[in-house]
């Protein structure tokens, strides 16, 4: 059974636009997914990337065109007016949910949609609790395992750097070492898993 390490930042609109395609692909090939939320801004710093606020105007203008194009292509609503927020609380909730077992994919998608479809602040405790409840988890997971969540969140960043990850979303097939960056590379991931 193939293992996919899924690295992403909960403030990444590209991770949101991936929707549930990763999970569909994994189910088709009997692959398992380990969700590894991380601080994408620190990942940029560590791997030679540039934080969005520091990017050249031409890159940001292109991004402002490309995101709505992809959203329209995928039939997904997309709010472009969302403010930067602290990604750690939502990431800790995902880590706690993965440890508890259950619909982690549903939780990830609810948190990303809360931000990019609904424009809500995913650092807000009420938003996190609601996403946990809607995905079938005990909302109290938002309070438990904060220390472990913080440790795992930091380890995810270190693991990502070691694995050659530099953006979000990023998929690493641990069995083969093949890496796929971006929601627009999911078709290549699908084809690769078919060869294993």
Domain positions in the chain are 3-195
Q: What is the rounded average pLDDT for all residues in the chain?
A: 96
CA 148 to chain centre: 19
Is 185 a residue whose pLDDT tops 80?
yes
Is 147 a residue whose pLDDT tops 90?
no
Identify the helix (H) or strand (E) that includes residue 129.
helix 125-134
- Domain 3-195 coded CATH 3.40.47.10: no
DSSP 103: -
pTM: 0.96
Give CA separation, 11 vs 79, 82, 101, 173, in Å: 12, 9, 23, 23
CA dist 140 and 132 (Å) reads 9
Contact 36, 156 (CB under 8 A): yes
145 band by pLDDT with thresholds 50, 70 and 90 = confident
């Amino acid at each position: 059974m193939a293992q996919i390490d899924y690295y992403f930042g909960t403030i990444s609109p590209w991770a949101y636009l991936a929707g549930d395609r990763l999970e569909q692909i994994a189910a088709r090939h009997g692959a398992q997914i380990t969700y590894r939320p991380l601080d994408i801004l620190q990942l940029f710093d560590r791997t030679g990337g540039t934080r969005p606020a520091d990017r050249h105007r031409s890159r940001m203008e292109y991004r402002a065109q490309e995101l709505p194009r992809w959203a329209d292509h995928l039939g997904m609503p997309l709010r472009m007016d969302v403010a930067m927020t602290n990604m750690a609380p939502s990431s800790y909730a995902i880590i706690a949910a993965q440890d508890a077992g259950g619909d982690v994919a549903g939780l990830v998608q609810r948190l990303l949609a809360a931000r990019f479809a609904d424009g809500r602040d995913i650092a807000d405790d009420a938003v996190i609790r609601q996403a946990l409840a809607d995905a079938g988890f005990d909302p109290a997971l938002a309070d438990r395992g904060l220390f472990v969540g913080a440790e795992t969140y930091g380890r995810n960043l270190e693991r990502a750097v070691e694995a050659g990850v530099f953006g979000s979303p990023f998929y690493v097939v641990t069995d083969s070492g093949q890496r796929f960056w971006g929601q627009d590379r999911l078709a290549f991931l699908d084809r690769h898993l078919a060869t294993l």
